[in-house]
A and B are shown apart, each in its own frame.
Chain A
Amino acid sequence: DAGVIQSPRHEVTEMGQEVTLRCKPISGHNSLFWYRQTMMRGLELLIYFNNNVPIDDSGMPEDRFSAKMPNASFSTLKIQPSEPRDSAVYFCASSTGGSSTDTQYFGPGTRLTVL
């Protein structure tokens, strides 16, 4: 079975450009999570969805970040405009959903570099 799929795997962009990261969760999973990992701040939850509805977006750093989940099989994380401090590895994860005991399955991540 395919795991969580993220694209692109690497993204290099210049400051001020729009960046869109994509995620396809595991089929049948109802919850989707976006994380950011940096050396300075570690692994941070940005936002999570359950049944395509945003449940907790308290980790979204500022208005430059937005996330959508138009259907059960696709989500995007957009940064506009991007800044050098947004450079990080962004992970998407999914779970069967609805319980705090659920295992989260992580994608391989997107390494974002903003010059």
Chain B
Amino acid sequence: AQSVTQLGSHVSVSEGALVLLRCNYSSSVPPYLFWYVQYPNQGLQLLLKYTTGATLVKGINGFEAEFKKSETSFHLTKPSAHMSDAAEYFCAVSGSFGNEKLTFGTGTRLTIIP
């Protein structure tokens, strides 16, 4: 079974400050890891994903995440927060061997303080 845990259901940062959203995973097989973003009243949109290869993954809107196997983590960061980053962020994991099922975390709501 696979799962992800997102630490902190709400995170507030000041505009221009570092954004750090935490995600830890549990998987019995090499995981594929995803970050999705959900803006109010919209569906989810992919920010970035880790499959194989480089462990530092760059995504859209200046976000990046680093896969750390030793820490079973896949934290999402952005150097400088923008007001438009206010949204809910979901970490998700899928397994290898062709299983397309995604298991999502409970989400982190990011608020940007002007």
**Structural contact, A101 and B45, CB atoms closer than 8 A:** no
Chain A residues closer than 8 Å to B97, beta-carbon distance: 100
Minimum CB–CB distance for A115 against chain B, Å: 21
**Structural contact, A106 and B43, CB atoms closer than 8 A:** yes
Chain B residues closer than 8 Å to A105, beta-carbon distance: 46
Q: Does A50 interact with chain B (Cβ within 8 Å)?
A: yes
Chain A residues closer than 8 Å to B45, beta-carbon distance: 106
**Structural contact, A99 and B90, CB atoms closer than 8 A:** no
Choose from A31, A98, A102, A106 the contact partner of B44 (Cβ within 8 Å): A106
From A11-19, A41-49, A64-72, A79-87, give the one contacting chain B: A41-49
Question: Which residue of chain A has its CB nearest to the CB of B46?
Answer: A103
Q: What is the size category of the interface that chain A forms with chain B? A: 20 to 34
Chain B residues closer than 8 Å to A48, beta-carbon distance: 100-101
Q: Does B111 interact with chain A (Cβ within 8 Å)?
A: no
Q: Does B99 interact with chain A (Cβ within 8 Å)?
A: yes
Chain B residues closer than 8 Å to A4, beta-carbon distance: 43
Q: Does B42 interact with chain A (Cβ within 8 Å)?
A: yes
Q: Does B12 interact with chain A (Cβ within 8 Å)?
A: no
Q: Would you list 25 pairs from A and B whose C-beta atoms are within 8 A, ordered by A residue? A: A33-B102, A42-B106, A42-B107, A43-B104, A43-B107, A45-B103, A48-B100, A56-B101, A93-B43, A99-B98, A99-B100, A100-B32, A100-B94, A100-B96, A100-B98, A100-B99, A101-B51, A101-B94, A103-B34, A103-B46, A104-B44, A106-B43, A107-B43, A108-B41, A109-B43
Q: Which 7 residue pairs are nearest across A and B when measured between Cβ atoms?
A: A106-B43, A100-B94, A43-B104, A101-B51, A106-B44, A42-B106, A103-B46
| B residues in contact (CB < 8 Å) with A | 32, 34, 36, 41-46, 49, 51, 90, 94-107
